[in-house]
């Protein structure tokens, strides 16, 4: 049996919104293609389903391509997503 989904309440969603908004301009670490790199949060955005951070980070070469930015996300309903790998330095 799988784990039951824990639905967040509107106040909990607001706490997450404020947490992610407060990270703008800060230095962070994040997981990019399995590598932990340092970066800077450029901006916060959201849509009806998710929160997003736009992060410029150290160059990562993967498959011959260089990546220098990422947009990790977290679902509003349960806070699941790649934003859970982003940590303030």
User: For the chain, how many structural domains are there in total?
Assistant: 1
Residue 45 lies in a domain: yes
Distance CA 55, CA 41 (A): 4
For 21, list phi and psi in degrees, rounded to 5: -60, -35
Residue 21 lies in a domain: yes
Helix residue ranges per DSSP H, 1-89? 10-21
Query: Full-prediction pTM beyond 0.85?
Result: yes
In whole angstroms, how far apart are CA 22 and each of 8, 25, 45, 49, 87?
20, 8, 12, 19, 12
Residue 63's CATH number: 2.30.30
Q: How confident is the model at residue 4 (pLDDT cuts 50, 70, 90)?
A: confident
Mean pLDDT of 9-19: 94
Segment 44-71, tens digit of pLDDT: 999 999 999 999 999 999 999 999 999 9
What range does the domain containing 24 cover? Answer: 10-88
Residue 27 lies in a domain: yes
Residue 35 lies in a domain: yes
């Amino acid at each position: 049996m799988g784990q039951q989904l824990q639905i967040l309440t509107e106040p909990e969603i607001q706490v997450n919104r404020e947490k992610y908004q407060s990270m703008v301009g800060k230095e962070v670490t994040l997981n990019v293609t399995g590598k932990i790199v340092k970066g800077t949060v450029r901006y916060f955005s959201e849509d009806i389903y998710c929160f997003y951070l736009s992060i410029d980070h150290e160059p990562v070469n993967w498959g011959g391509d260089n990546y220098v930015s990422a947009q990790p996300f977290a679902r509003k309903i349960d806070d699941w997503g790649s934003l859970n790998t982003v940590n303030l330095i």
